[in-house]
Structure 1
Amino acid sequence: MASLLPEDYSLDRMRRYYAHFSSTPMTPTSKIRTDAATIGTTTEAARLERQRKAAQVAEDYYDLVSPMYENGWGQRFHYTPLTPGLSISDSMTAYEKEFARITGLKKGMRVLDLGCGVGGPARSFAQLVGVEVVGITNSKWHVERGQALTKEAGLEGQVTFVQGDYMHLPFEDASFDAAYAFEALCYCPDPTVVYKEAYRVLKPGGLFAFADWTMTDKFDVTQKEHLKIRNWIEYGNGVTRMPLVQEMRDGLKKTGFEVFHEEDMAHRSSPGPWYYGPAGNVRWAHDWQDFWKVFQMSPLFLFVVGIAYRILVFVGLCPKEALNVMDTMWYCCRSVAIGGKMGIFSPIYMFASRKPDGK
């Protein structure tokens, strides 16, 4: 059970993240606690303050949860529509193949992965399509882990990693054939900033595609329940401002991209919904590996493990802060599952576009 905490666990690491969502200032000696009231009813002023520190919020979040993501979900930190007869992992591969086909990725292209995580999709595209991928992430841990996994896969010369800010790309103009992102641009308070940077580093005719988190057109800002779920999603996943679909459309158009494909890939999921995993619903598990992966996110499992952790904390065999990490993981899973079921949220809304020739 100690694997719930990051390998280089520290109270400072946890304080850095929880401080972004606390209604009171947090000092080096403050008690770390999940402030449910603040999370569910966060004010616009508080959200704006977090947006000003969006890069730091995202870095603090992924420093805290990335080891748990990899242990529980795998090396590819993204959701996927289910494909009939395939496991979650194989569905991801099928989804990535379709993403590459729609986008128009071709062998030999130099491609930029914006917010690459530990490089799961980058290695998939390198193997499936034969592209050269450069991944950028603001997390040092992602770079180090991504490099290790890429070496294991024998793709060192084909997939490389750069630690940096995708809002200020450290690359020359017109230096890539294509750029893409999986569930990463939502961490920028204004994704249009990243669109502009992608536009700059793409060659004329270059391709730009992403599948990202969004509050769908069904999201109603006047509905308190909708706002609560949005706030839960933001807290549980380190997002400071969930974008809207219309904002994505407007941002791409404003930047100058020509959109040739738009689709909520969630609607392709069959026979079960994309959110059956975070919902902990084992009904659609394809095999025992999927069953265990999904069961670990089920309310029953989280309840039993919560009791076990409380016992370990009580007898001094586990730091009490593990309970806070469990709370965060509850919000991470439950929020997206509820939002998906309500139809107000999708993590795989796709746009594919092109930089005009001659620009």
Structure 2
Amino acid sequence: MAPTKTKVILEKEDHERDAAFMKALHGKSTEAAGGFAAMLAKDKEAKKIAVEEYFKHFDNKSAETETEADREARTREYATLTRHYYNLATDLYEYGWGQSFHFCRYSIGEPFYQAIARHEHYLAMKIGIQAGMKVLDVGCGVGGPAREIAKFTDAHITGLNNNDYQIERATRYAAKEGLSNQLKFVKGDFMQMSFPDESFDAVYAIEATVHAPKLEGVYSEIYRVLKPGGVFGVYEWLMTDNYDNNNLEHRDIRLAIEEGNGISNMVTISEGLEAFKAAGFELLHHEDLAKRPDPIPWYWGIAGETKYMQSYWDLFTVLRMTHAGRRVVHVFTGFLETIGLAPKGTKKTADSLAKGADGLVAGAKKDLFTPMYLMVGRKPAN
């Protein structure tokens, strides 16, 4: 599957516009505990705009009818698509998954959130993050991994994000945990970072650069801001090389993943590796961690496979992801919309995330997709 052949034109940034829209849509929900409490506090008119701007790329599209022009349209608006996706999905993520928006490997006897933290620690270890280092987290979400890695390594971490709502929440969470002296979160497009050349000792990205319209573009920007001799590590979302774009079932799975996760243009493992090398990195290690012979599959949570629970506390997380749990969310959000407590589009967003989860599970079981292709590379010292 080839990435779009059209040259990527970077979107013009407008931070004042984005900040104004964030205030209009989210209001004081940045201060909410998260989940449904935050969902109910949205402005209805602004929510309508976000829903329309995001779903215009996916409504009435299918694997049978999708054209290259459809994918190019998503790629042209990569930053807007991603920003509005997280305007819509962040509260549902926090409700259903937590504050670290990524998957992980699991071991016997290891509770869900402990496994999430171990996955973050592993990446920090592979990169070699040390105390006092200046580190960049590319696509930091609400800062869950940055907080964990900061505590694990004593490094100083800057989180980059193009969604103002997530930046506000990440900043509040860091302050609440007493980490404001180690963490800061800044607004920006990772395809055109504002940082000077050679600003960081190390860089990592956890399931975030998949939102790039072209991986070589974001990897090249990371290369630019990394100091010579510095290391970059990424957990990348990629279709495996078993993916066949001429196969209707394969395309249907890929499109479900893209719609449910705010992605403009998925590519394969081979293309991801090519982009990594083309950016200039000396490839130190690459591996599909989903291929490790783990006793518990990485997707068990979104598949709702409760037999893999390792702690009673996991039940509260996993029940929300079972088909029954998703049905409850579907009905409940629809009811809240009907009585006017939730803005229109809340149910549609929840349903889209569920569709994406089904695509992820299908992609994993058919060996078409991985959310944890690990690539580690060094910028040459001279």
Q: Do both share a fold (TM > 0.5)?
A: yes
CA contact under 8 A between 1:39 and 1:235: conserved in structure 2? no
Q: Which runs of 5+ in 1 are unaligned?
A: 24-33
CA–CA distance in structure 2, aligned partners of residues 77 and 115 of structure 1: 10
The sequence identity of aligned pairs, in percent, is 36
> Which of the residues 229, 234, 251 maps onto 2:275?
251
SS at structure 2 position matched to 1:274:
coil
Aligned to 2:61: 38
The alpha-carbon distance between structure 1 residues 307 and 259, as it changes in their structure 2 partners (threshold 3 A), is same
The Cα offsets for residues 66-112 of structure 1, whole Å up to 9 and x where unpaired, read as: 11211221111111111221111100111112111112212221111
Shift of residue 355, structure 1, vs aligned partner: 0.3
Aligned to 1:59: 83
Shift of residue 43, structure 1, vs aligned partner: 2.0
CA–CA distance in structure 2, aligned partners of residues 147 and 84 of structure 1: 34
Shift of residue 9, structure 1, vs aligned partner: 4.4
CA–CA distance in structure 1, aligned partners of residues 147 and 200 of structure 2: 17
Structure 2 letter corresponding to 1:285: M
> Which of the residues 301, 308, 313 maps onto 1:289?
313
SS at structure 1 position matched to 2:242:
coil
CA contact under 8 A between 2:47 and 2:345: conserved in structure 1? no
CA–CA distance in structure 1, aligned partners of residues 313 and 366 of structure 2: 28
Aligned to 2:255: 231
The alpha-carbon distance between structure 1 residues 199 and 322, as it changes in their structure 2 partners (threshold 3 A), is closer
Aligned to 1:126: 150
Aligned to 1:16: 50
CA–CA distance in structure 1, aligned partners of residues 315 and 233 of structure 2: 32
CA–CA distance in structure 2, aligned partners of residues 22 and 251 of structure 1: 29
Structure 2 letter corresponding to 1:161: F
Matches within 5 A, 1:168-317: 168-268=192-292, 270-310=294-334
Shift of residue 19, structure 1, vs aligned partner: 3.8
Establish whether residue 87 from structure 1 lines up as the match of residue 111 from structure 2: yes
Structure 2 letter corresponding to 1:107: A
CA contact under 8 A between 2:39 and 2:342: conserved in structure 1? no
RMSD of equivalent CA atoms: 2.1
The alpha-carbon distance between structure 1 residues 108 and 2, as it changes in their structure 2 partners (threshold 3 A), is closer
Q: Quick check: 268-277 or 154-163, which moved more?
A: 268-277
Shift of residue 65, structure 1, vs aligned partner: 0.9
> Which of the residues 135, 145, 151 maps onto 2:159?
135
> Which of the residues 328, 331, 345 maps onto 2:352?
328
Shift of residue 203, structure 1, vs aligned partner: 1.1
> Which of the residues 359, 365, 380 maps onto 1:341?
365
CA contact under 8 A between 2:207 and 2:237: conserved in structure 1? yes
Structure 1 letter corresponding to 2:61: T
The alpha-carbon distance between structure 1 residues 6 and 81, as it changes in their structure 2 partners (threshold 3 A), is farther
Aligned to 2:8: none
CA–CA distance in structure 1, aligned partners of residues 342 and 191 of structure 2: 39
Structure 1 letter corresponding to 2:243: F
Q: Which runs of 5+ in 2 are unaligned?
A: 1-34
Aligned to 1:97: 121
CA–CA distance in structure 2, aligned partners of residues 14 and 120 of structure 1: 28
CA–CA distance in structure 1, aligned partners of residues 288 and 170 of structure 2: 28
The Cα offsets for residues 141-178 of structure 1, whole Å up to 9 and x where unpaired, read as: 11111110001111111111111111111111111111
TM-score of the two chains, using structure 2 as the length reference: 0.85
Shift of residue 322, structure 1, vs aligned partner: 3.4
CA contact under 8 A between 2:63 and 2:248: conserved in structure 1? no
TM-score of the two chains, using structure 1 as the length reference: 0.90
Structure 2 letter corresponding to 1:334: D
Between the two proteins, the alignment pairs up a number of residues equal to 347
